[in-house]
Structure 1
């Protein structure tokens, strides 16, 4: 790191009572207190919120953030390794990108971390501006992931308002079947299919058939009746 640690560091270890409305948050996980403090101050003066932790388990006890966030993570920690924590984050907090820091040159580990999705891998000492650029990029990735998750959640809530038959019709229509083919599959008339399809479009707020198909894809709806491809 290029600059000296500040004499009055700002390190937030306790989670806020509410993440809503908070600035994007950078989580720092490093067992070196001087690194934690200087990084927290660097993050704070750059306009972001900082929370620092001395171990992986301490970080994992922190509830999920509901704002764009990323983790600046030391490769060597006293409990879990950085790579192990990266795997936990990917499984449990997929909206949160990882930036690695290390004081040890280990090319194979760096390659492994990047293949697992790390935004960047820095050797200590590192350049502040390069780290800030990586953090900015990581927060943008997090923001995009959160927006995607929010969109999928909204779609799921709309999908839950459909009746069982409407869900069947939506799933079959999304495979590319015509109304009469959907009716044949479900044993109902084409007119009934049209009525169900109209209600599906309204409830899902779909503007077009293409829009409805895209929604079904985002929801990863199971293909009904074991169908693996559309037929016309």
Structure 2
């Protein structure tokens, strides 16, 4: 997975320069963009990181950009940093998934703490997305009958119960189980249960 970055999207050059210097002085890699559109043109959907985002900008607003990223399932943790904060906007932003909502001017130490927490959250989010994608790919490699057997295995059914439920022989169940373990790469029932649970939450 790529190293998490701090993306700064603000149409005020002085704000961008100040935030970039703050990040770099703390050993954090930052990229600056003067609009939501320029950020979208450059952003790679699989890139984890923290997005420090202004609310009001020329063209696309911060919340509009956030909605696009949410739709795309991007593993970015969003921090709003704005001079136009309000309680309704704060509530709306947090409900949309923002990890924090700060108003300018902001204390540098406080902002860095928020950014570090957001970077950790983004990395964990990226790992979860990666796990879901891997699980979905493994499950997609199974035949329909193998998926039926897998679900029954994850439900704790014995070979005899699976055979009776599906109307197949005990030996056929064993063959399906061996193929399932081989195709998914799991080594035991516990790992298989985890795979099935992750697969249930996998994106379409």
Q: 1:137 aligns with which of 114, 117, 120?
A: 117
Pick which of 135-144 and 112-121 moved more.
Answer: 112-121
1:44 aligns with 2:37: no
1:153 aligns with 2:133: yes
Contact kept? 1:64, 1:93, Cα under 8 Å: no
- Closer/same/farther in 2, CA of residues 209 and 126 from structure 1, 3 Å limit: same
1:118 aligns with 2:93: no
Deviations 1:143-196 (A, max 9, x none): 111122222333334334434432231123223333233223433112210221
* Residues 26-41 of structure 1: pairs in structure 2 closer than 5 A: 26-41=6-21
Q: Higher helix share goes to which structure?
A: 2
* Residues 54-133 of structure 1: pairs in structure 2 closer than 5 A: 54-64=34-44, 66-133=46-113
Contact kept? 1:95, 1:145, Cα under 8 Å: yes
Residues in 1 aligned to 2:95 and 2:141: alpha-carbon distance in whole angstroms: 40
Residues in 2 aligned to 1:82 and 1:71: alpha-carbon distance in whole angstroms: 10
Structure possessing the higher radius of gyration over alpha carbons: 1
Residues in 1 aligned to 2:17 and 2:201: alpha-carbon distance in whole angstroms: 47
Contact kept? 2:46, 2:74, Cα under 8 Å: no
Residues in 1 aligned to 2:201 and 2:104: alpha-carbon distance in whole angstroms: 46
Tell me, which stretches of 5 or more residues in structure 2 are unaligned? none
Contact kept? 2:7, 2:32, Cα under 8 Å: yes
Q: Could you say which residue in structure 2 is the equivalent of 1:15?
A: none
What count of residue pairs does the alignment treat as equivalent?
A: 202
Cα shift at 1:86: 1.6
- Closer/same/farther in 2, CA of residues 135 and 221 from structure 1, 3 Å limit: closer
Residues in 1 aligned to 2:102 and 2:157: alpha-carbon distance in whole angstroms: 52
| TM-score of the superposed pair, with normalisation by structure 1 | 0.78
Cα shift at 1:207: 3.1
Q: 2:152 aligns with which of 142, 163, 172?
A: 172
Contact kept? 1:36, 1:52, Cα under 8 Å: yes
Pick which of 197-206 and 115-124 moved more.
Answer: 197-206
Q: Could you say which residue in structure 1 is the equivalent of 2:171?
A: 191
